[in-house]
Amino acid sequence: MTIHKEGYKTIAIATLVFTVLNLLSFFFISAAAPWLSWLLLIALFGLLLFIISFFRIPNRVMTVSDKQVICPADGKVVVIEEITDVEYFKDRRLQVSIFMSPANVHVNRNPMSGEVIYSQYHKGKYLVAWDPKSSTENERYSVVIKKGNTEILVKQIAGALAKRIVNYLRPGMKVTQNEELGFIKFGSRVDVLLPVGTHINVTLNEHVKGGVTVLATL
């Protein structure tokens, strides 16, 4: 397991705060209320471990297939439905949405290899990630990857806690399946828009792993 580069600054700040607060606790609280000082130490240490774990990248054997779309994120499948895409395709698409809790791995990966032909950041609200309106009203970053005649849209969506979306893709880039697409901090959701008629390999409420679980078969 390694730590994602997006976490270096956050972890450094969290470690500094942890150190300062515990030093203050030692000098000003421990003599009068040692139990409170120990309680603060344990609580802050738990919070620090949680922050570190949030940026973890576990070692995995990735699934690689030219004929399959791989899950771009860890989490729980909360939507499988046909929708009208108003952003890019302007027609009917099959949407699969993955909700990421703060406990999930939050690195996002390319669901298939191809060329990036669209990349757009949208300002927006911070509705809870499972709200259907979050797909079109929340802060989000959309990219379209094209391979042959197949185009899929991947949408990183901020949630009530997620306040920063990082996306590494730009139009014209050639990308490889399972390479990093981006990162979303502290809980959110990823939508994948597929051609209508695509065979979906996951089910509602299924827990999936980014880079491992097969989302759909082309």
7-16 tens-digit pLDDT:
899 899 999 9
Mean pLDDT of 189-203: 96
For residue 63, tell me if it sits in a domain: no
For residue 93, tell me if it sits in a domain: yes
Residue 183 corresponds to which amino acid?
Answer: F
Residue 126 confidence (pLDDT): 57
Is there a catalytic annotation at residue 101? Answer: no
For residue 152, tell me if it sits in a domain: yes
DSSP 8-state secondary structure symbol assigned to residue 134: H
Mean pLDDT of 113-136: 75
Q: What token pair was written down for 212?
A: 């491992």
pLDDT in tens, 59-83: 999 999 999 999 999 999 999 999 9
For residue 97, tell me if it sits in a domain: yes
Residue 10 sits in which domain range? Answer: 2-57
Could you give the number of structural domains in the chain? 2
Last residue within a domain, chosen from 57, 76, 104: 57
For residue 62, tell me if it sits in a domain: no
Residue 173 confidence (pLDDT): 97
Residues 106 and 27 in one domain: no
Residues 96 and 44 in one domain: no
User: What mean pLDDT value characterizes the chain?
Assistant: 90
Residues 170 and 191 in one domain: yes
Residue 200 confidence (pLDDT): 97
Last residue within a domain, chosen from 12, 30, 57: 57
Residues 127 and 168 in one domain: yes
C-alpha dihedral (50, 17, 126, 165), degrees to nearest 10: -80
Residue 12 confidence (pLDDT): 95
Asked whether residue 143 carries a pLDDT value surpassing 70, the answer given is yes
Choose, from 25, 37, 134, 188, the residue flagged as catalytic: 188
For residue 30, tell me if it sits in a domain: yes
Residues 91 and 194 in one domain: yes
Residue 50 corresponds to which amino acid?
Answer: F
Asked whether residue 133 carries a pLDDT value surpassing 60, the answer given is no
% of the chain beyond a pLDDT of 70: 91
Residues 48 and 86 in one domain: no
> pLDDT-derived band of residue 129, with 50, 70 and 90 as boundaries?
low
pTM reported for the whole predicted model: 0.86
CA-nearest of 192, 169, 211 to 58 is 211
Residue 61 confidence (pLDDT): 94
By CB atoms closer than 10 A (0-12, 13-18, 19+), residue 206 is middle
Residue 31 confidence (pLDDT): 78
For residue 141, tell me if it sits in a domain: yes
